[in-house]
A and B are shown apart, each in its own frame.
Chain A
Amino acid sequence: MSYDRFKTALICVLLICVLAVPVSAQGDVIKIGLISSLTGAVSTYGQSVRNAVTMAVDDINAAGGINGRQINLVILDDKGDGTEAAQAARRLIDRENVALILGPVITPCVMAVAPIAQAAKVPMLTPTGTGDEITSIGDYIFRGAYKDSFQGRIMAQFAAVNLGLTEAAIIYDVANDYSVGLRNAFKATFEELGGKIVAEESYSTGDTDFSAQLTALAMRNPQALFIPDYYSTAGPILMQARLMGMDAIMLGVDGWDSPDLSALAGGFEEGGYIVNHYSADVDSPVTQEFIARYTAAYGQAPDALAALGYDGALIVAKALEAAGSTEPEALKQALGTVKGIDGVTGTINMDPEGTPIKSAVILQSTGGKWELVDQVDPSGR
């Protein structure tokens, strides 16, 4: 190794370090941190959330900010990795002195950030984290999504009571907490209601071939198949299942909600049921406007994660307004009590326990559109 080469390499490294010095804005602003997965295998979800949150914050700032103060959004990437998310959280808390953390997006990151936020007494709201245990970490931890147990139970009730099914099968992602949580809740409720889970198969995040699992499931000829996963995986599963000749009723979750589902499923989502936050039939103007503007801004229609991200930002804005300050204790109180937020995913009432009380709807895919079949009382959270 020549000294010159060493020097060149060293200069490269130093240059990067110099470039990396962050620029932070000052002034009378409210600083909010957003931790999201902008790179890595789950970046498609993280970018949806980032886009929607950025849009919401821009809206709020354009409308005059919160009590006259502008929001300054600091966005940090966590690569979908817990270690990185924890570092990002520490940086937001210690260096950026944010009033509040929005995010992270996926449960492994949320679970790594929550203890840090709780210990530092910085309120945190994950727009998309669904794991039941998230909000039990502490009183500073909030979420904008359903709990897995809530959603799984609703689908199981609908399947057992409304559809009158007695047998169902499940295929789920063993490496994804969201999928496992929903599967557990569905299974428990369905069996409680006298139904039987005749077969269960699993796969791992990133798998694309489900033929083995589906063949094993098809052998049991189940009346229904519950697929608790995001549209990106549920789509190919739906297609492969139907092409295999499976005629079970397909049951899904809010993660299916994406304009891309139909193309990914080859149109085979037809006839399937999902739990969702809102329905196109009873769309509020907020929802319509959000879909139109998001599509215009980012060149693709929003998925469920974008909708949740937008609403997460709305909840936070409302709480900041109600608290009247960025003092953590007041903010925490406000986050647990703000009511009647007119969000993209419906009317949101926050609860001190940390999970919003939102209504749920059951939709069925009919002729390429999701149509409302049932509305569920949110009190059974």
Chain B
Amino acid sequence: MSWHIAALQQLVNGLALGSVYALIALGYTMVYGIIKLINFAHGEIYMLGAYFGFYALTLLNLSLLPAMLLSMAAAALVGVLLERVAYRPLRNSPRISVLITAIGASLLFQSTAQLVFGASFKPFPQAMPFRRIQLGPVFITNRQLLIFGVAVLLMILLHVLVTYTKFGKAMRAVARDKEAALLMGINVDRIISATFALGSALAATAGILVGMYYNRIDPYMGMMPGLKAFVAAVLGGIGMVPGAVLGGLLMGVAENLVVTLGSSTLRDAVAFAVLIVVLLFRPTGLLGKKGIEKV
């Protein structure tokens, strides 16, 4: 393999890894967009989604699509409950208090999952045959393609949902000004619940796809990807649906580029350095709108 082909292959790998971040980041950004909360428990809902899928596939013997739907529904329920119990009572409290309950919820999900599902790494059932697709000099696996495809598809769907539907309009209204939205007859609580359900279902989708892709799930699988996906969402401009995908893909490509340039030990440091530099030039992320400072 010559250098330029390897670089091209790394680009493909980077896009695949980036799609993983993007998938998780989508749910992050949805929730953030509406209540400005860094939902630290999002990575754990992603983990729970993977486990729900795992048990739907192994215990209930479902095929991939029904298992996925079931897991999405279960995760949505967890997300709505979480919002109801741990976030809603604090809606008028300082934002940082909600952040702490989110961190608490994240720890709680981790340790409960460890207790219920066991601490060991579980191999994920391979519900899809493996195929290698040759694209000229480089190749891509069907799973990578699936993750990339689903990430882009969901991004488009969400974008359409947010921009063109009545529900999306209500979401944007709530995000802009809760009181005013309430005055306009929007059921704010319901919109927020629905957003959590949506975000959590997205996380579950990501959990199953990623579990299948890497063939491994464990109770702490949400920690690092959750963090990285959040970073990706911020990089793209948090609260923006296309920004999540852009940020995710960019992170993935940047990380792989670092390895290609020969310093895999510094991979994470370089990824964060890139982030800081980008933020210095675009303080609200790549697609973020510049806020107007009012006096």
Contacts and interface: CB of A to CB of B under 8 A. Distances in A.
Q: Give yes or no for direct A-B contact (beta carbon below 8 Å).
A: yes
6 contacts: A47-B119, A209-B17, A231-B121, A235-B121, A245-B132, A266-B126
Nearest to A37: B119
Contacts of A208: 210, 214, 216, 221, 225
Contact of A232 (B1, B9, B16, B121): B121
Given A211-B256, A213-B259, A219-B1, A44 B14 contact: no
B124 to A, nearest CB: 9
User: What secondary structure prevails in chain B residues at the interface with A?
Assistant: helix
A243 B130 contact: yes
B16 A264 contact: no
Nearest to A262: B123
Interface string A199-224: 00111101111011101101100000
Given A202-B264, A232-B216, A211 B114 contact: no
Interface string B2-26: 0000100110011011001000000
Interface in B115-162: 118-123, 126, 130, 132, 139, 141
A219 B215 contact: no
A263 B10 CA distance: 27
B246 interface: no
A212 B17 contact: yes
A71 interface: no
A90 to B, nearest CB: 24
Contacts of A46: 119
B276 to A, nearest CB: 19
Contacts of B216: 208, 232, 235-236, 264
Interface in A42-57: 43-44, 46-47
B260 A216 contact: yes
Contacts of B16: 209, 211
A236 B214 contact: yes
A219 B6 contact: yes
B172 interface: no
A300 interface: yes
A215 B6 contact: yes
A145 to B, nearest CB: 20
Given A44-B218, A264-B215, A266-B215, A211 B119 contact: no
**Contact count band on B:** 35 or more
Contact of A235 (B123, B262, B264): B123
B287 to A, nearest CB: 25
Interface string B192-226: 00000000000000000010001110111101110
A260 interface: yes
B284 interface: no
B253 to A, nearest CB: 10
B264 A213 contact: yes
Nearest to A171: B264
B265 interface: yes
Contact of A174 (B225, B260, B265): B265
A269 to B, nearest CB: 12
- Top 9 closest pairs, chain A to chain B, by CB: A263-B123, A212-B259, A211-B13, A212-B256, A232-B121, A44-B119, A43-B119, A208-B214, A41-B220
B223 A236 contact: no
Nearest to A240: B214
User: What secondary structure prevails in chain A residues at the interface with B?
Assistant: helix
A44 B264 contact: no
B179 interface: no
Interface string A291-316: 00000000010000000000000000
Nearest to A46: B119
A203 B6 CA distance: 19
Nearest to A239: B215
Contact of B20 (A174, A209, A236, A245): A209
Nearest to A216: B259
A288 interface: no
Contacts of A235: 121, 123, 215-216
A136 interface: no
B130 A215 contact: no
Contacts of A266: 126, 215
Contacts of B223: 41, 206
Contacts of A219: 1, 6
A162 interface: no
B146 to A, nearest CB: 14
Contacts of B121: 44, 231-232, 235, 260, 264
A243 B1 CA distance: 16
A204 B218 contact: no
Contacts of A231: 121
Nearest to A232: B121
B123 A204 contact: no
Contacts of B114: 39, 43
Contacts of A207: 224
B264 A203 contact: yes
Interface in B236-285: 255-256, 259-260, 262, 264-265, 267-268
A212 B10 contact: yes
B101 interface: no
A154 to B, nearest CB: 26
